[in-house]
Every structure is written in C-alpha cells, then in structure tokens.
Amino acid sequence: MCGIFAVFGCGPDMETFRPHAVALSKKIRHRGPDWSGVKVCGNNVICHERLAIVGVESGAQPLTSADESLILSVNGEIYNHVTLRKLLKKEHTFKTNSDCEVILYLYEEMGLDLLKHLDGMFSFVLYDKNKDTYIAARDHVGITTLYQGWRHSDNSVWFASEMKCLSEDCDRIIAFPPGHYYNSSNGKTTQYYNPEWYAHPAKGIPAPEEEAALLSPEADAEMYASLRAALEKSVKKRLMSEVPYGVLLSGGLDSSLIASIAMRQRRSEETGSVSAEDDDDIRSAFSSSSAFPRLHSFSIGLPGSPDLAAAQKVATFLGTVHHGFTFTVEEGLDAIGEVIEHLETYDVTTIRASTPMYLLSRKIKAMGVKMVLSGEGADEIFAGYLYFHSAPSAQSLHHECITRIQNLHTSDCLRANKSTMAWGLEARVPFLDRAFLDVAMRAEYASHKLVNRAPYNHKMEKHIIRAAFDTPEDPYLPREILWRQKEQFSDGVGYSWIDRLKLHAESRVSDAAFAARAERFPVDTPATKEAYWYREKFERVFPGPQCLESVVRWIPRKDWGCSEDPSGRAQKGHVAAYEK
C-alpha cells in the first residue's frame, strides 16, 4: 500500500508547478515512507510515496514501460500478478519484481479490459504518452482510498490517495467511486465491477414456507464447505509479503477467524504441505512469506476491556506471539484531532472506532511490522451488526447487506485504510476478496443471515459463517469465541470509551452553540454534541465547502425501528444494551 498523487492538464509553467506537486505529495508521505518518485510529462505530473511490501529492492514508482511511453502510479497489491504475467501474449521486459508492473503490459495488450483480470486492492493512475490520455481506477469495493478533484482555472484533473492533497487547490472533490474507472479520452467514469448479486434480485430468496420444504443437512454442509474453502483461499493469497506481517486480533469472530486461518497456513508452510490445488500466486505467497515463521497478533483496549480478554484467549488457543496493548481515555481524546485529519471525515462511528485502531497501528509499526490482516467486511456480508436483528425479511436484509458493501468505502474500508496507513502500516482484508464475495453473497443464503426467523430460527447473528467454521473434530477457535456475540470495535475496546466521548463532547459544546448548529453547519447539520465536536475539528483542517462532498455519515436503519446511535450497545439485542 502506498500513496499516489497526480495532476493532469495543469498550467504551462511546470518548472513552478513541479515543486508544488512534490510538496502536495509529501502530505501523504506517511502512507509511503520508504521512497518517493515523480514523473513529469508535458503538463502532467505523477507522484508516488512508496511503502515497500513486495519487490522491496526494485519496485520504486512511478513505473514506466520499456519505451517510457506509459507511466503508472499504484496504491495497492495485485495478488494474482504471477498468473497475470502468463496472460500476456507478447514478450515484455520487466524492470522490477513488483506485483504492480504487470498492469502496464496488460494495458498495452488489452486496454481497459485489464481491470476485470485484477485480483487485489488497488487505486492507480496510468498515463499514455503516445495517446496523451490517462485512466484512473479503484478496486471493486474501495479497500484502497482514492479522491478526484477539479480546478476550474485551468481545467486540470487531480487524483490522490487522500483528500488533503487536493483540498487547497481544487474547486470540487469527490471520493472516486469503487469498482469504476475514469477515461480522459471521453471524460467519463464507468463502472467495471458489477457482479450478479449487485442487482438486488427479487428472485432467488424463497419464502419461509417454501424454504422449509427445501431444508437439507446435505445442502447446509455444502454451503458451509464452500464458504470455508473460499475464505481460506482468500487468506492464503494475502500472505504475499517480503516483510514481517501480523494479524489484528480483537477477540471477535471476524478477526479471530482470519488469525486462525493464517496460523494454520503458517503451520502448512513449516511442514511444506502446499496443496496441489493451490495456484501459482498462492505458491508465490508461501515462498515470499516463509522467512518470517512466527505469526504475531495485536489487540488494544482500555484496561479490563472485553476485547483484550477475548483476544488473549484466542491467541493462547492458536499459539500466536500476542501483543495486547492498553490505552487510556485521555490518550484517545488527545488523538481525536489527528485521527480526524487522517480520516478526512466527521462520521461519528468511524471516528469512535478509528481512534484505538490508530493508536494500535503506531505500536505495531514501532515493532517493525509493515502489514497486517484484518477482519473488515464480515458484518456487512453476513448481517453481523445488531440492528440487522430488526430486518423485516430476508429480502430486506439482503438488500441492506448489498447497500452496506457498496458503501464500505465511506466507513470501515476508509477506517481500516487510513488508521493504519497513518503510520505506514498496510491492512489486508480477506473477507472482501472478490471470489469470496461471490460465494457469500448468494441470494439463497440470505435466510441463513436472519436471527430468530423461520425457517431456520438461528439464535445469533452471522450464524452461517460461525457454523461453517464449527468443526469440533479440528476446531478453528474456542467455542466461546466462535459463538461470541457481535461486539463493535468501538464498544469492545471498553464500554467507557464511547461513554466518555459523549461526556467530553457535552463539556466542549455549549447548549447555545448546539442550539444554533443549523446556522453554523447548514449542510449535513450534526444531530448530537459529539457529532458537532467532530465537525468543528474537521472544518478546522478542511474548511472549504469542496471538502464536504466526500463525507458520508452512517446511521442504522431508523425505518426498522433502530436507534440512531451507531453503537452496538444502542441496539436492543446487545447483552449490555443502554437502558431505554
């Protein structure tokens, strides 16, 4: 993971603009502290801040084709780069061992069709000197961050991994849509990722009485086996690394499953038992990571938090080298301003959860680790948030899961990417693998994601993925962890964290100021003092109206009767729910 910055069609005085571009790119050097690169071609400039994970010695960017006619700057990882090289029909001279260089030659041979072949997380800009055109693209669900801006004075178009590179120069800024590409030849942004399950299908989900007639232990076993195999393959391919890596371990189901699968893989590497079914990319991942045989796990919480205790239990069970860190409420409060500056949002739930993740990432990077596996995405896929208990039907639940996945780039993906990359730490998210999503989002699985509803009457959220890994003969996790109730990260680090945030905001925002909030913030007016406090901090760093368009606030479904507070404890299904 790295930082990219590019401006196309800027003014003619490139001698003056180049140092300005370098200074703007430097604003995201925290994303790529290992090296910096700049390419100028005509009135276009492309910059890169590198975090070296694969091709460490030779992968400096921007990358160029053999004749220098193509210039590429990438933020991300292409997990199937070994296989992609075999798709090339012509002979190409690769300059690096980077997983990203293959994009140049795929473009050369197949143009924009290359995007359907990429398996990974990525944002990139590619300039074609011969055609004087450029493209920009973002991965399928926005695991990596990308912003696009426009400056009216010279009609230039800007791209960057973070908004802070654009906020002072651009008249309009948007979050570049996931699963899309921009083509300068026609000025259009086009969707390339459009899986069948995006269609919000009305068919494919049988009525409860119809499904009851189809109940079959054999069908359930097949479903669980397919989920298990798909997730294990997703974790395996994400072990592609030439640097030390670890796992984020909150002690919840999602991160614990990822840690368990990764640990099993480490044991397979030690015994040399690579499966015959594994493809070349997975075999490459094995060989590149084998120099680091000890798997380290990391967690954080307030002293005595639920997550710290659960994480230690999982780590002991798995045998990871575990590091459980604590922070104080005061340390968290002191970091809020920095967190908002890195996140570039004022969304309440994102800031609540990002602050401990931001503090943890600093600890991890200080230990020499540059990449971690994380569990983002599972709650959106499997209806894990407690407000899903209130879904009126399998159809409604399925549609809500799709919508949440399509908007992950505004919340959990943004949090995971920017909280970690603030310290030059890369987070990889196996649950958001394209192939895994195609399995887990099958419409016929929707009824399995309901709680206390016929015909299955599952008693706990995410039953489907819990049952898939409930293998008593060879357990992946302790049973009390596998069946532990969903605990949102901002709650699990310690219940007093959110309580103290609310109290602190109450003391910082006067009743008079809050009463006049619509005058102070006429656009997207904050509904609570906590939200008001975050908005104040955001606008100190990003004061222009152009900085608001990319921010999305998330609240649970009020039309399902859910509390507007995004905390899991605000939902009636939580065992420690707030008193109503």
Task: Match 């069609």 to its residue by tokens.
Answer: 9
Does residue 467 register a pLDDT over 90?
yes
Does residue 556 register a pLDDT over 80?
no
Tokens of 526: 């904050």
Reported as type and span, the H/E element at residue 175 is strand 172-175
Tokens of 319: 């045998």
Does residue 85 register a pLDDT over 50?
yes
Residue ranges, comma separated, of all CATH 3.40.50.620 domains in the chain are 208-508+550-570
Its pTM stands at: 0.94
Q: Is the N-terminal amide bond of 455 cis, ω within 30° of 0?
A: yes
Q: Catalytic residue at 547?
A: no
Give the tens place of pLDDT for each residue, 294-315: 899 999 999 999 889 999 999 9
Instruction: Return the pLDDT at 578.
Output: 43
Does residue 96 register a pLDDT over 60?
yes
Hey, what amino acid is at 548? L
* Contact between 18 and 40 (Cβ < 8 Å): yes
Reported as type and span, the H/E element at residue 181 is strand 180-183
* Contact between 75 and 31 (Cβ < 8 Å): yes
Give the tens place of pLDDT for each residue, 274-289: 565 666 777 666 555 5
Classify each residue of 303-312 as buried b or exposed e, where b means 16 or more C-beta atoms within 10 Å of its C-beta: eebbbbebbb
Residue 171, annotated ligand binder? no
Q: Give the gyration radius of the chain's Cα atoms.
A: 23
Work out the angle between the directed axes of helices 348-366 and 329-343 (0-180°, nearest 10).
100
Distance in angstroms (rounded) separating the CA atoms of residues 120 and 237: 9
Give the tens place of pLDDT for each residue, 186-214: 999 999 999 999 987 666 787 777 777 77
Q: How many angstroms from the chain centroid is the CA of residue 41? A: 32
Give the tens place of pLDDT for each residue, 320-355: 999 999 999 999 999 999 999 999 999 999 999 999
Cα separations in angstroms, 325 against 200, 313, 363, 422, 454 = 42, 15, 8, 18, 42
Which residues, 6+ apart, have CB-to-CB distance to 76 below 8 Å?
A: 1, 2, 100, 120, 121, 122, 123, 124, 139, 143, 144
Does residue 557 register a pLDDT over 60?
yes
- DSSP E strands in 487-556: the ranges are none
Binned at pLDDT 50, 70 and 90, residue 215 comes out as: confident
Tokens of 290: 């084998």
Class of domain 208-508+550-570: alpha beta
Task: Match 């015994």 to its residue by tokens.
Answer: 271
Instruction: Return the pLDDT at 553.
Output: 87
Question: Quick check: helix, strand or coil at residue 124?
Answer: strand
State the average pLDDT over residues 141-158: 97
Tokens of 544: 């222009």
Give the tens place of pLDDT for each residue, 499-542: 999 999 999 999 999 999 999 999 999 999 999 999 999 999 99
Distance in angstroms (rounded) separating the CA atoms of residues 252 and 297: 13
Does residue 580 register a pLDDT over 70?
no
Of the residues 2, 165, 170, 401, only one is catalytic, namely 2
Give the tens place of pLDDT for each residue, 175-191: 999 999 999 999 999 99
Residue 375, annotated ligand binder? yes
Tokens of 39: 């390419």
Q: Which CATH number fits domain 3-191: 3.60.20.10, 2.30.30.30, 3.40.47.10, 3.40.50.1100?
A: 3.60.20.10
Give the tens place of pLDDT for each residue, 112-140: 999 999 999 999 999 999 999 999 999 99
Residue 300, annotated ligand binder? yes
Could you give the percent of the chain with pLDDT greater than 90? Answer: 79
Reported as type and span, the H/E element at residue 230 is helix 217-237
Strand duo 120-128 + 147-151: pairing: unpaired
Which residues, 6+ apart, have CB-to-CB distance to 324 below 8 Å?
A: 298, 299, 300, 301, 308, 311, 312
Residue ranges, comma separated, of all CATH 3.60.20.10 domains in the chain are 3-191
Instruction: Return the pLDDT at 579.
Output: 46
Mean pLDDT for the chain? 91
Residue 374, annotated ligand binder? yes
State the average pLDDT over residues 436-443: 96
Does residue 569 register a pLDDT over 70?
no
Query: Which of 164, 523, 504 has the alpha carbon at shortest distance from 332?
Result: 504
Query: Which of 257, 481, 275 has the alpha carbon at shortest distance from 374?
Result: 257
Could you give the percent of the chain with pLDDT greater than 70? Answer: 92
| φ and ψ at residue 137, rounded to 5 degrees | -150, 155
Give the tens place of pLDDT for each residue, 242-269: 889 999 999 999 999 999 999 999 888 7
Q: Where would I find the H helices in 367-444?
A: 378-381, 394-406, 412-421, 434-440
State the average pLDDT over residues 549-575: 72
Distance in angstroms (rounded) separating the CA atoms of residues 243 and 29: 19
Work out the angle between the directed axes of helices 412-421 and 329-343 (0-180°, nearest 10).
100
Instruction: Return the pLDDT at 273.
Output: 59
Binned at pLDDT 50, 70 and 90, residue 292 comes out as: low
Instruction: Return the pLDDT at 212.
Output: 77
Query: Which of 211, 204, 268, 210 has the alpha carbon at shortest distance from 236?
Result: 268
Instruction: Return the pLDDT at 308.
Output: 93
Q: Is the N-terminal amide bond of 62 cis, ω within 30° of 0?
A: yes
Higher pLDDT, 574 or 98: 98
Q: Using alpha carbons only, what angle is made at residue 330 by residues 325 and 332, rounded to the nearest 5 degrees? A: 60
Residue 248, annotated ligand binder? yes
State the average pLDDT over residues 25-48: 97
Give the tens place of pLDDT for each residue, 420-430: 999 999 999 99
Q: Where would I find the H helices in 272-344?
A: 280-289, 306-318, 329-343
Does residue 487 register a pLDDT over 70?
no
